Amino acid sequence: MVETYQQTARTTPRRMPERASYDAALVHSVLDEAYVCHVSYVAGGEPRVLPTLHARVGDTLYLHGSTGSRPMLAAREDGLPVCVAVTIIDGLVLARSQFNHSANYRSVIVHGTARPVTDEDERTRAFAALVEKVAPGRDADSRRPSRRESAQTALLALPLAEASAKVRAGAPSDDPEDLTLPHWAGVVPLVLTRGLPVPAEAQEVPLPAYLRPERETWRRPVALRGRHIVLEPLDHAHAPELFTALDDAEVWAHLTSPRPASAREMAEIVAAALADPERVPFVQREAATGRVVGSTSYYGVSPVQRGLAIGYTMVGRPWWRTAVNTESKLLMLRHAFDTLGALRVEWHTDVRNERSQRAIERLGAQREGIMRSHRRRADGSQRDTVLYSMIADEWPAARERLGAALENGGTGGVACSASPTP
């Protein structure tokens, strides 16, 4: 690949030429980051602009379209002269004067003649690049186009021989006489970020790792595996199994959300858990059978204070007071203290939930007090919350005690925690 593109009359901006760059790495980075380009061309003597998807492979830009579209039809003979534009807005620049308002941006203009891609190997590479542009890892995790679908899809290849970038960054360019005006000036950053993926109807496949939002270590979903229980990152696809495992009035007796009446309502609870940036939710799966038996979470995560809470715990009644519960909490405590380096772990439970309080105490947690009128129950009443904690100095003894409990049958752990739920 070239390192610098040749400057031409068409790639030299008339306004602010000092902002132009012909550095290939900069041009590539803008093309690779942007998802949409605009293709300008002339058809029938009239100017046209087509927004479309694109992907870059080396020094070639591939443009996606339909075989029946005007630019694709026009390119069949001798290629199609085009101008491709890409712009990424990084911020709104507010100056003291309206005239000097602007935007911080990175843009690329490419001129050239686009040719239709007919070679099957090149088409395969271009299709893969387009899919990988949408989500890295997707090419191997999706069905490739059929012959009929491929025949309906056109690809244009545009060589990046005549390309330039233009960039504006930094603060407002106020005139010296405006610097004392009593108006706020500065930059409002704009960032395009991926949201939490929303599954399609009847989705039974868990969210692939390459689509999971990037999180720092303390909030990153992980799998925790033991002999009796496996904790997996919670997913939309778990909703039907969770509804089956937790369809018991006693499970929901002390929780702050009402008992779901259907798998669809359970899916709403799961969606709320996944949308909460302060939670790290798990599904609990029985190691021997693979059955989903419940859900639990870290929440109140504070890497700065090196603390978190364990809660939102819902376990099917057949697994209360079993090794499943003890090992689940042992895995979570081990990850919190030994892997993350937590100094403090908390539990919160309804003052009326004596079963949960006894279970938390069996873990080795210390009762610190009661937070009055702390949470709203599902019936609308206010609950008093009992606060428990375990600190790092207490963890070694608790780890040894819980390990011994597992060796002796594993009766212990939280039966049904009343921590805050969605």
CA-CA distance, 224 to 230, in Å (whole number)?
6
Q: What is the pTM of this model?
A: 0.77
Tokens describing residue 419:
């921590």
Whether 179 and 221 share a structural domain: no
CA-CA distance, 127 to 150, in Å (whole number)?
9
pLDDT band at 75 (very low <50, low <70, confident <90, very high): low
54, 31 Cβ separation under 8 angstroms: yes
In which element (H, E) is residue 150 found?
helix 147-151
pLDDT at site 36:
95
Whether 320 and 400 share a structural domain: yes
Task: For residue 112, tell me if it sits in a domain.
Answer: yes
Residue pLDDT, tens place only, 323-367: 888 899 999 999 999 999 999 999 999 999 998 899 899 999 999
Task: For residue 236, tell me if it sits in a domain.
Answer: yes
Residue pLDDT, tens place only, 356-395: 899 899 999 999 999 999 988 888 899 999 999 999 999 9
Whether 126 and 226 share a structural domain: no
Task: For residue 108, tell me if it sits in a domain.
Answer: yes
Whether 167 and 256 share a structural domain: no
pLDDT at site 73:
61
Whether 164 and 264 share a structural domain: no
293, 286 Cβ separation under 8 angstroms: yes
pLDDT at site 416:
44
pLDDT at site 420:
40
CA-CA distance, 326 to 388, in Å (whole number)?
17
Whether 225 and 184 share a structural domain: no
Task: For residue 390, tell me if it sits in a domain.
Answer: yes
Tokens describing residue 133:
């542009």
Whether 257 and 347 share a structural domain: yes
Whether 158 and 227 share a structural domain: no
Place of tokens 């937590």: 342
CA-CA distance, 185 to 201, in Å (whole number)?
47
Highest-pLDDT range among 85-89, 114-118, 199-203: 85-89
Is 256 in a helix, a strand, or coil?
Answer: coil
Cα Rg for the chain, rounded, in angstroms? 29
Whether 260 and 113 share a structural domain: no
Task: For residue 93, tell me if it sits in a domain.
Answer: yes
Residue pLDDT, tens place only, 282-336: 999 999 999 999 999 999 999 999 999 999 999 999 998 888 888 999 999 999 9
245, 316 Cβ separation under 8 angstroms: yes
Residue 254 reports pLDDT greater than 90: no
pLDDT band at 418 (very low <50, low <70, confident <90, very high): very low
Whether 157 and 247 share a structural domain: no
CA-CA distance, 281 to 261, in Å (whole number)?
21
Task: For residue 413, tell me if it sits in a domain.
Answer: no
CA-CA distance, 365 to 391, in Å (whole number)?
8
CATH code where residue 363 lies: 3.40.630.30
Question: What residues have CB less than 8 Å from 148, skipping those under 6 apart?
Answer: none
CA-CA distance, 14 to 18, in Å (whole number)?
10
Last residue in a domain, options 189, 207, 239: 189
Residue pLDDT, tens place only, 192-241: 988 888 888 877 888 898 888 888 899 998 999 999 999 999 999 999 99
Domain extent at residue 268:
217-407
Sign of the torsion formed by the C-alpha atoms of 339, 344, 350 and 351: positive
Task: For residue 4, tell me if it sits in a domain.
Answer: no
Task: For residue 416, tell me if it sits in a domain.
Answer: no
Count of the separate structural domains present in the chain: 2
Residue pLDDT, tens place only, 23-46: 999 999 999 999 999 999 988 888
pLDDT at site 68:
63
pLDDT band at 267 (very low <50, low <70, confident <90, very high): very high
Last residue in a domain, options 189, 204, 239: 189
Residue pLDDT, tens place only, 124-169: 999 999 999 999 999 999 999 888 888 888 899 999 999 999 999 9
Whether 307 and 376 share a structural domain: yes
CATH code where residue 83 lies: 2.30.110.10
In which element (H, E) is residue 56 found?
strand 46-57
Whether 263 and 315 share a structural domain: yes
Mean pLDDT score of the chain: 90
